[in-house]
Amino acid sequence: MKLVITGATGFVGREVVRQSLARPEITSVVALARSPVSIPAPETLPPGADTSKLRAVKIADYAEYSEDVRRETVAITPAKSRGYDWEVVKRVCHTSTLAGLAALCEAGPAQPFRFLYASGSAAERDQTKKPRFMPQYSLLRGETENQVLAYAAAHDGVEACAAKPGLILAGGGALRAALGSLVYWVSGMRPIAVTDLARVMLDQVIHGFEREPLMDGDLVRLAAEKGE
């Protein structure tokens, strides 16, 4: 199985790359990013990791993307979006996602081709609503989910799903556990460690999507059910 990871230098992307190298079901890992992707240090890799499976590709090398999209990263987080012009945010979070999906499908991948879109629990698909948290950004991410799913429905052999985590934690520890509990108590979002999130995402693309969407509670549950 070939795995293509976009945003491979990001917080979640790096962990997905790290774990994917140890998954025997995955024979090839293509890591896409705007900046160079480094091979993880040997001491950080899981047992059985095979770094020869990794191929790093800079987004700017892809002719399928427009020049504007090639200059951008493949995602902007809610916090970072405040520092960008809205048209830039829309191009990066929406337009380039759909362009990337189309480019991958047009390349003739093996079927089923599974596309897991990393979104967020606050993304709102119902465009008639006004979310409380960063409404413009949340609606944009929700509409991106809508169009990703519509594209999959219109193309045979394409399966799509949105993973919608809440707070993503860097790791374990009492302090982080306490922070996660506080966030859940205040917002209702279920926190998840980035290691658990990456593992669940890999399980889903390898074995098939359990459901759509994968909400924060689903991701936490799946991590607990298939814990190491």
pLDDT digits (tens, 9 = 90+) for 146-204: 999 999 999 999 999 999 999 898 865 555 555 555 555 455 678 899 999 999 999 99
pLDDT at 110 over 80: yes
pLDDT value at position 187?
54
- Alpha carbons within 13 angstroms on the beta-carbon side of residue 46 total 13
Q: Hey, what's the torsion of the CAs at 99, 101, 102, 104, to 10 degrees?
A: 120
The H-or-E segment that residue 159 falls in is: strand 158-164
Write down the mean pLDDT value for the chain.
Answer: 84
Which CATH class for the 2-163+192-225 domain?
A: alpha beta
Q: Which H, E and C letters describe 127-141, residue by residue?
A: CCCCCCCCHHHHHHH
pLDDT at 67 over 60: no
Closest by CA to 160, choosing from 216, 107, 100, 220, is 100
pLDDT value at position 227?
66
Q: Quick check: 166 and 193 in contact, CB under 8 A? A: no
